Chain A
Amino acid sequence: RKEVEQDPGPFNVPEGATVAFNCTYSNSASQSFFWYRQDCRKEPKLLMSVYSSGNEDGRFTAQLNRASQYISLLIRDSKLSDSATYLCVVTRRNDYKLSFGAGTTVTVRA
């Protein structure tokens, strides 16, 4: 089983819609969680960290569910510019290795 798994999508949504997707992780010792965004043929960039209490950054909301071992990302009022692949990243306590999910592709159409 992969350490971090994501629904690859694609999620095709119209502008203005809300889209949400999850990432599951297998190691209960996982400590830190992040969402990165990757545009086609570009490098990944940090979108937001995921905190235990959940957090928002504008139209983006991230949640962590430690009991069920998943994190989620919700995008409200989708824009064309939100079209990208969203990567889930997990780190473990006392371990310098980051684990990446394969990514969830979101396409926002006009």
Chain B
Amino acid sequence: NAGVTQTPKFQVLKTGQSMTLQCAQDMNHEYMSWYRQDPGMGLRLIHYSVGAGITDQGEVPNGYNVSRSTTEDFPLRLLSAAPSQTSVYFCASSALPGSSYNEQFFGPGTRLTVL
């Protein structure tokens, strides 16, 4: 199993550009989520999904869109990049929170810089 994969690993964008961060998991997990991690602030939840076709907002959703057309894939789209979106982005998957075993498995992260 590859676990959780993310692409790209690094990305530099100019203000106003759009792009999609890819995330895929091969563990048949229902729950997938996107976080951003900034110094001193920990991981903050952007969007999450509890299954194909179901998404919801997290703590910091503005400027980001997600979709979940399959169980495996959960792409994160930046609509119009801003310097404030410079961060490290992690995708994670697990069984549904609240189930008896719901370890979060994280991808390796995408380091995004917006100029």
A interface residues, Cβ below 8 angstroms from B: 4, 8, 31-32, 36, 41-46, 87, 89, 91, 93-98, 100-103
Pairs A-B, 3 closest by C-beta atoms: A43-B106, A102-B42, A100-B43
Minimum CB distance partner of A91 in chain B:
B97
Contacts of A93 in B (CB 8 A): 98
CA distance A36 to B41 in the complex (A): 15
* Given A43-B90, A96-B97: A101 touches B48 (CB 8 Å cut-off): no
Give 26 pairs: A residue, B residue, CB < 8 Å, sorted on A.
Answer: A4-B42, A8-B40, A32-B98, A36-B104, A42-B109, A43-B106, A43-B107, A43-B109, A44-B106, A45-B106, A46-B103, A46-B104, A89-B104, A91-B98, A91-B102, A93-B98, A95-B97, A96-B31, A96-B48, A96-B96, A97-B59, A100-B42, A100-B43, A100-B44, A101-B42, A102-B42
Q: Are B98 and A98 in contact (CB under 8 A)?
A: no
Say yes or no: A97 contacts B43, CB within 8 Å: no
Bound Cα distance from A98 to B43, whole angstroms: 10
What residues of chain B lie closer than 8 Å to A103, measured between beta carbons? Answer: 42
A87-B48 in contact given A43-B90, A44-B104, A98-B33 (Cβ < 8 Å): no
* Residues B97 and A32 in contact, CB atoms below 8 Å apart: yes
Q: Which B residues are CB-close (under 8 A) to A101?
A: 42
